[in-house]
Amino acid sequence: MNYNSKIRARADRELERRRQTAEGGQRERREEVLKKLPRIGELEREMAGAGAEIVRIIAAGGDVKAQIDKLSEKNLKVQQERKALLVSAGYPEDYLEIKYTCPKCRDTGFVEGRRCGCYKELLRSAAYKELCGNAPLDRSGFDNFNLSYYPETRDGATGVVPRKKMGEIFTFCKSYAEDFDTDSPSVLMYGGTGLGKTHLSLAIASAAVKKGLGVVYGSAQNLMLKLEKERFGRGGDGEAEEALLGCDLLVIDDLGAEFSTQFTVAALYNIINTRLLSGLPTIISTNLSPEELEEKYTQRIASRIIGNYICLPFCGKDIRQIKK
């Protein structure tokens, strides 16, 4: 899973918040209890003293096991008295324990040196929120993709029935998302504006994030601007190129709408070629046909896309105009 530093930092902040909340809550409960039951404080001091006594016993040598067993028995009785006092005052016996959100890692994110499942879930949640901030995921799912907007009549120019063709593309995309992994093939979605390319690419991206995979989504224009700022020292967080080249899934939306320069063409070639060599999937949506891609970006780029991506030709009428 490749997550950028922003996502990791967001997950770390949430862990810290959880930890502080749990420990702060325990301190408040302890202060409350000590006012009603001063004896609890005495018992806690006895338990704290037992730890220091164990250190002294080990340092002194002699029959260490017998002395520690005796001290442990005494400490157990102190704990039992503490619990009994809490219960007699109407509190749960574990009232003074720290209530961590994740008892396994105690809200540290680690269990025996390995990442805890709760931290992985935080990463997934943070990644989803970041993706939501960049794209309308709530309006771009498989469940709200409406095939009724596509004509049922055969197109005179192409001989294709748009609703039938788009039904096939929808089925493929849904199956692709369900089985998606880092070794999935790359996909090119092309066709006129307003045909659902962004909608389906985001539905796939959302499914990938929910599986715990690192997804980068952006319009070609915005992604190239980030790379340009980073390359020429005009800002950026220094991670744009690394994220685009190494994320589990890269979604480039509206390729061809960006301002094309020698830099952007070279950057696009590097992204496509590097990810192909690494075996990492990319989804590209564009209004350009395969022939127009070659005219705009050279045969080197077009051949790598057309020769290695699953090409999905979207058809129909502009749904945005139909909705208006």
Which residues share a beta bridge with 284?
188, 252
Q: Which amino acid is at 178?
A: E
The per-residue pLDDT for 89 is 93
Is residue 132 very low, low, confident or very high in pLDDT (cuts 50, 70, 90)?
low
Does the pLDDT of residue 324 top 90, yes or no? no
Angle ∠(18,23,29) on CA atoms, nearest 5:
125
Give the Cα separation of 155 and 61 in Å (integer).
93
pLDDT tens digit string along 180-219? 999 999 999 999 999 999 999 999 998 998 888 888 888 9
CB atoms within 10 A of CB 50: 15
Whether 37 has a pLDDT exceeding 90, the answer reads yes
Answer whether 196's CB lies under 8 Å from 145's CB.
yes
Average pLDDT score over residue span 130-159: 82
CATH architecture type of domain 135-323: 3-Layer(aba) Sandwich (3.40)
Q: What is the pLDDT of residue 152?
A: 93
Name every residue whose Cβ is closer than 8 Å to that of residue 138 and which is 6 or more positions away in sequence: 132
pTM of this structure: 0.69
pLDDT tens, residue by residue, 250-283: 999 999 999 888 999 999 999 999 999 999 999 9
260 phi and psi, to 5 degrees?
A: -90, 130
Handedness of CA 111, 115, 117, 121 (dihedral sign): positive
Q: What is the per-residue pLDDT across 70-115, written as a single tens digit (0 to 9) for each?
A: 777 888 888 899 899 999 999 999 999 999 999 999 999 999 988 8
User: d(Cα 70, Cα 75) in Å, to the nearest integer?
Assistant: 9
Q: How many CA atoms lie within 13 A of 96 on its CB side?
A: 20
- Positive or negative, the CA dihedral 148, 154, 160, 164 is positive
Cα-only R_g, the chain? 30
pLDDT number for residue 69: 74
Residue range 277-302: average pLDDT? 93
Alpha helix segments (H runs only) across the chain: 5-36, 38-60, 64-88, 117-134, 162-178, 197-210, 220-231, 240-246, 262-278, 290-308, 319-323
The single-letter DSSP state of residue 318 is -
The per-residue pLDDT for range 209-245, each reduced to its tens digit, is: 888 888 888 899 988 988 888 787 655 555 678 878 8
Measured in residues, the chain has a length of 324
